[in-house]
Amino acid sequence: MRPDKIKSVVLWSVISAAFIGPGTITTAITAGASFQLSLLWAVVFATVACIVLQEVSARVIISSGLTFGECVQQRFGAGWVKWLVAVPVLLGCAAYEAGNILGAVSGLALLTSGSTKLFTIIITVLAATILWRGGSKLISNVMMFLVVIMAIAFAVLAFKATFSFSELLKASVVPQLPVGSEWIALALVGTTIVPYNIFMGSAISKGNTIPLMRIGLTVSVINGGVITACILLAGTVAGTFTSFPALAEILKNNSGSWAAVALGVGLFAAGFSSAITSPYAASLIASTVLGSENKNRIRLVWAAVLLIGFGFGISDVKPIPVILAVQAMNGFVLPLLAYFLIIMVNDSRLVKPEHQHAFWYNAILLLIFGTTALIGINNIDKAISDFFSLTPHPQLVIATTAVVLIVVIVQLLKSRKQQV
């Protein structure tokens, strides 16, 4: 591979490092432990969907030469629209940073004895140092290293799975939904396609070329998808999943002490990489979406996200109410962001004719939008139901998703007709 292609892969490694965090590990292991290979197709779909949305976002930025915020403002006019998208994502970065830090701490706790509070301090200081010294080059290099560590650790665990190649291939391409697996399947998609990754991808694509962007993005996200699949396979070996220490003990009894070590290394790498990328993404959102150019203010944004995560982590206070509220807001933002991308990439004022896609590509985008809308509306329903101790309404979620999808299809057709 040429040096410029390798450089692009390293640059885009932040995307795979970002979506493989403690939440992804928990979801993928649960999927494997509860349903074996049945949901492997969801990992494949999520990986492809992530590539498509990230590619569209980056293509709009590269072709237009504008930032994401400028693209939104040029296409939709009102300046408040970018705040509507950016603020919930910024709050989400802060709310989930505690989970990222605690995930890295959990990984260290599996590898060595020591104070979890001390581990929390060490991880926060290391993350702050990398972010302070940082820029995209240093952070990309660190992320690439952590992705390799994760890949090795979880590949070692997945190696114990005894499935044949034909079984893996069939499970990867044939959708199955065993009873009770519906929302785990959606969670696998939702934990891979995250709003701040789209912002981060659009930011790092600035000044890149479309061919190099596609190479770096595709290799990086496929690597992330393979790692997620390995985590799911590790879950099939475990059989049950209640907590990381319990899982480590099961793996140790089934496969030997090396399996528990591999889990600890992988969990630490996943948590630590996400603990860096979440504040980093917040700083990119502040600069490319909200238009802040003051270096100190941008540093203040990532420092605030990191400190909020540290505060929850060191105090052992679980930010459940905050997470529920942010979960509902992000449930709104994810399909909204997908909607913006569909409309912007079909706008000839933003995307030059030579960079526009074929009409059939819109069918793929609409399928992904429908899936993200289903995930988002379900997250909102779940957050409201949990907060008020109500029963979720899956039928209402599906019906609302269908209506929203039809509205977007009609608007897209009108928009394209006006540009002809």
Per-residue confidence at 317, pLDDT binned at 50, 70, 90? low
Residue 319: the pLDDT is 57
For 180: left if phi > 0, alpha if psi spans -120 to 50, otherwise beta; the answer is: left
Task: Quote the number of domains for the chain.
Answer: 1
Residue 407: the pLDDT is 93
The pLDDT tens digits for 334-373 are 888 889 899 999 988 888 888 888 888 999 999 999 988 8
Per-residue confidence at 37, pLDDT binned at 50, 70, 90? very high
Q: Using a cut of 0.75, tell me whether the model's pTM lies above it.
A: yes
Q: How far apart are CA 54 and CA 56, in angstroms?
A: 5
Mean pLDDT for the stretch of residues 400-410: 93
> CA separation (Å) from 40 to 31, 235, 238?
8, 12, 16
- Is pLDDT at 321 greater than 80 in this prediction? no
Q: What is the CATH number of the domain that holds 378?
A: 1.20.1740.10
To the nearest whole number, what is the mean pLDDT of the chain?
Answer: 85
Per-residue confidence at 227, pLDDT binned at 50, 70, 90? very high
> CA separation (Å) from 184 to 31, 178, 187?
7, 10, 5
Residue with the bigger pLDDT between 45 and 206: it is 45
Residue 326: the pLDDT is 58
Mean pLDDT for the stretch of residues 381-385: 81
Residue 325: the pLDDT is 61
Residue with the bigger pLDDT between 380 and 121: it is 121
Residue 322: the pLDDT is 58
Q: Which two tokens stand for residue 345?
A: 């990439």
Closest alpha carbon to 47 in 250, 285, 222, 281? 222
Q: Which domain holds residue 172?
A: 3-419
Which residue's structure tokens are 């004022």? 349
Q: What is the 3-state secondary structure (H, E, C) of 182-197?
A: HHHHHHHHHCCCCHHH
DSSP string, 25-76: HHHHHHHHHHHTTTTHHHHHHHHHHHHHHHHHHHHHHHHH-S-HHHHHHHHH
Residue 225: the pLDDT is 93
Which amino acid would we find at residue 27? T
- Is pLDDT at 303 greater than 90 in this prediction? yes
First-to-last alpha carbon distance for the chain, in angstroms, is 41
Residue with the bigger pLDDT between 415 and 65: it is 65
The pLDDT tens digits for 58-102 are 999 999 888 888 888 888 876 678 788 788 888 888 877 888 888
Residue with the bigger pLDDT between 285 and 324: it is 285
- Is pLDDT at 38 greater than 90 in this prediction? yes
DSSP 290: S
Residue with the bigger pLDDT between 215 and 241: it is 215
Mean pLDDT for the stretch of residues 205-232: 90
Q: In the chain, pLDDT over 70 holds for what percent of residues?
A: 95
| 65-102 as b/e: b if 16+ CB within 10 A | ebbbbbbbbebeeeeebbeebbebbbbbbbbbbbbbbb
